[in-house]
Structure 1
């Protein structure tokens, strides 16, 4: 049989074209949980102390059976803003530089949402805490970036009522800064998970089914204050049915009955009352888990489960006196920076656990990789895919820092050791460098405030190694090596002028609220107008030098 050359070429061309067609891109759902200690999830072994028959997180636990679960995942810090920016940018806190309230992501940095959008994805995000406001750079790359917090009108009404109560007490009208502070505090008792879910479900119902999507959901309701009965009447009592005390979860961080109000802030709350607070925390986690379950079921009901990557992660945990404190944005110990991480990848690696160390800034590169989307070129984070598929070995460490709390701390950890140190502002060096610069802080006895822990033998990090222990120097040498590599990466990144990295004085929502309260239009001013000259933090001192 004779085949004409033109037809043969056409057949070859058709075959080549078909073989080169890209497989459909996977959808991606990224779920972040604010202030969630991984030890409070059933998937990580938790059962409620006073109601062990009730699973705290049944939906996340079921999800774990269909996902990869990471036992050794870590955040870069112990508070929301920089942790989420690491998640979205693939960069450590030092390199994304969004560590203080008045800095946004440099316009020359990119986020995973921008890469998804550039790849043709529909992108939407629904957030429920003030530190994910679009003014910090989180809205970049999103078709929709919407708050689930109180609307400006609702919040203005709350503030009017508060202002009237102040006036009746003979106090002056609140300043703009006080009003902005109230906005942040309201998030501690606002109820947002239903609004997050409604936004997500509306998006799933209205999206173009022919186009892949990237959906980000941020749940804040487990964050203190611990008020589960404002979420659902009787919810708190389910997790502590025999409690006969009168301690409540309101005003948790600022309650003088919880701890002493002067250093060293000793514990005042009884162990039984503290157990009750933890039960209320469990109840709030249960509430959030229920809403996550609704989203997971919607993906299955809509036939999206086998074409959608789903990642569940926390930004940080919370402390309940494990190291003498409460809350977060303070230290870098495991109760604050060890995070739950679970990833469902369709038809791959279901129900497996990984004990190797992974970092919050590895997550974005991993999601892009599995979705078939180009990587973030400047990211420090590395896709976990080669490791998960057995082509590489885990050998990672993470630098951590929390400069905005009561102490300026930084640290480092790998699978073997962790290091923390406390720094202080170096005024002469700051004046010389014309930016905030730091030096090692020392005890009254002249000892540097540096602690090294053997993570395998001391997982709760309660027994620091002696400086004479050879493991101490081994850890410090590794810390120094990682630190210098990070500084080298920092120098390689393009950087905008400082004025381009400052947040606006008000976000769009803040502007709307302030207008309703009768304040003038000053939203176009940047944050330097009221705070003077503001510069990014300078480099921390090199460890061991």
Structure 2
């Protein structure tokens, strides 16, 4: 389909006739942003997100369907639960037989651009399909050689060895430029360069005088481990002395989870200060991105979506990071949409799932994508949608990453608690309770009336636990599909190192 050359406006697609007057769609992921600091959006930590919420619609009970990046993005792109799309710790790839949102917008005549700063969300793992252009945000010049292994090496000898290996693996000039950028010029994990590049791309669109609508996906990874925000953002939440102390703390989620070291509550609070600084910094980049879209003259006709792909534990429930559990801290995330029908400054407090964005965005943009619409397991929450509002949300952790045997290979003998992580988890959340079930027969029942998830009531309320267990089975029977047997991608050594640094290996 070729785009219409007539001027575009903010007309609601529900009111369109036969014309092609479609909005741009921008989908921004604040990687690892949890609801605890971001819902409702407040000016103290995320002033840009708060202003977007004031102008648009904030969904205060939005939930991801998985607690970590690969499966949560797979659900975001396909509208499928993990049991259906099959991308998880045992099959680390989004299979090509699934329809995706970028491909649907591309087929509808949109210019599709993706920028990712999380190496799970790259072509190596099947996430570049449907994009006209897809960029690794942490690289100055795009290359298959990831120079991060050089930058993160400890000691001169290790750094020189890594540098030699990477230099011989690709174009030496490009490798040198990327090493210099990542080690000496990049003050973050790619966010500023990502915003700069998108700004340049928008300016180029203006120069080309194109009326073609665009779909833009962007992942900012800064709130992810390791928390090291620019100092001016960290000092918004910690004193200068406390910042120094916080930056000196060990940040190794897997070592913490297996009990190799402990963090006191005070130390966890220091780390939370750094985490808030990361959120504030990404929020500033979000503001720059909005300003660039406005300067390009595209804002009035743009649906702008900001979300967290999953949350984080920073000492809560005895965990660090976002593996091995389905607590509220890792599945409740921010979701704000502005533009089109989402510009009344309202808060919607009903349940929504991130995978519901697939039918919602198709409906909002007026895109006909029958195969994707039929595939998607979510439901539209467009204001004019006829779907019945959700009364429950679901999440899965089919296979953790890293698996328990990988932990054993790294740390040796493991505590019984950690061996217990070798299971799948599924959960259902309703107005009154949260029920989590493990494949090993374990059960957790948390009552909303308790106000938190510290008191397992499964033994005290067996009838309610049984009722929600049945509901979980009924739901699983409607969404689970056969998919490729468990396999892991043969990832490059540099990708493997970068994922290890993020706590996944």
Q: Same fold (TM over 0.5)?
A: yes
Query: For residues 256 and 107 of structure 2, what CA distance do their matches in structure 1 show?
Result: 50
Question: How far did residue 89 of structure 1 move?
Answer: 0.9
State yes or no: 1:421 paired with 2:454: no
State yes or no: 1:287 paired with 2:285: no
Contact 1:92 1:380 in 2 (8 A): yes
Q: Spell out structure 1 runs of 4+ moving beyond 6 A.
A: 171-176, 186-189
Select which of 292, 303, 326 maps to 1:298.
292
Change (3 A) 1:457 1:123: same
Query: For residues 172 and 213 of structure 1, what CA distance do their matches in structure 2 show?
Result: 39
2:412 counterpart residue number: none
State yes or no: 1:397 paired with 2:386: no
Per the normalisation by structure 2, the TM-score is: 0.77
Change (3 A) 1:467 1:123: same
State yes or no: 1:30 paired with 2:45: no
Query: For residues 45 and 157 of structure 1, what CA distance do their matches in structure 2 show?
Result: 36
Question: How far did residue 310 of structure 1 move?
Answer: 0.7
Per the normalisation by structure 1, the TM-score is: 0.72
Residues matched between the structures, number: 436
Select which of 68, 89, 97 maps to 2:86.
97
CA displacement, residues 479-515 of structure 1 (integer Å, 9 cap, x when unaligned): 111111123xx15xxx6x769x8645449x869x9xx
Query: For residues 277 and 213 of structure 2, what CA distance do their matches in structure 1 show?
Result: 35
Query: For residues 31 and 304 of structure 1, what CA distance do their matches in structure 2 show?
Result: 16
Question: How far did residue 453 of structure 1 move?
Answer: 2.0
CA displacement, residues 175-209 of structure 1 (integer Å, 9 cap, x when unaligned): 99xx9xxx9xx999952101211221122122253
State yes or no: 1:484 paired with 2:482: no
Change (3 A) 1:167 1:285: closer
2:237 counterpart residue number: 239
Unaligned stretches of 5+ in structure 1?
1-18, 47-53, 424-440, 442-447, 514-545
Select which of 342, 362, 365 maps to 1:368.
362
Question: How far did residue 468 of structure 1 move?
Answer: 5.1
Change (3 A) 1:347 1:165: same
CA displacement, residues 47-102 of structure 1 (integer Å, 9 cap, x when unaligned): xxxxxxx7211111101011111111111111111111110111111111111275
Secondary structure, counterpart of 1:462 in structure 2: coil
Question: How far did residue 368 of structure 1 move?
Answer: 1.5
Select which of 460, 468, 471 maps to 2:452.
460
Contact 2:41 2:49 in 1 (8 A): no
Larger Rg: 1
Secondary structure, counterpart of 1:83 in structure 2: helix
Contact 2:146 2:495 in 1 (8 A): no
Question: How far did residue 345 of structure 1 move?
Answer: 2.9
Select which of 405, 411, 415 maps to 2:426.
411
Change (3 A) 1:415 1:349: farther
Query: For residues 354 and 286 of structure 2, what CA distance do their matches in structure 1 show?
Result: 20
1:213 counterpart residue number: 214
Question: How far did residue 478 of structure 1 move?
Answer: 1.0
Query: For residues 32 and 438 of structure 2, what CA distance do their matches in structure 1 show?
Result: 23
Question: How far did residue 422 of structure 1 move?
Answer: 2.7
> What RMSD in Å do the two structures reach over aligned CA positions?
3.5
Select which of 57, 65, 71 maps to 1:76.
65
Change (3 A) 1:276 1:113: same
Secondary structure, counterpart of 1:356 in structure 2: strand
2:321 counterpart residue number: 327
Query: For residues 315 and 93 of structure 1, what CA distance do their matches in structure 2 show?
Result: 14
1:57 counterpart residue number: 46
1:223 counterpart residue number: 224
Change (3 A) 1:384 1:234: closer
CA displacement, residues 286-332 of structure 1 (integer Å, 9 cap, x when unaligned): 11100100111222233322211010011111102221111112211
Change (3 A) 1:338 1:156: closer
1:143 counterpart residue number: 132
2:307 counterpart residue number: 313
Contact 2:340 2:364 in 1 (8 A): no
Contact 1:225 1:252 in 2 (8 A): no
State yes or no: 1:352 paired with 2:340: no
Question: How far did residue 242 of structure 1 move?
Answer: 6.4
Question: How far did residue 159 of structure 1 move?
Answer: 6.1
Contact 2:91 2:485 in 1 (8 A): no
Contact 2:331 2:395 in 1 (8 A): no
State yes or no: 1:253 paired with 2:251: yes
1:109 counterpart residue number: 98
Change (3 A) 1:196 1:473: same
State yes or no: 1:128 paired with 2:92: no
Secondary structure, counterpart of 1:335 in structure 2: helix
Contact 1:329 1:402 in 2 (8 A): no
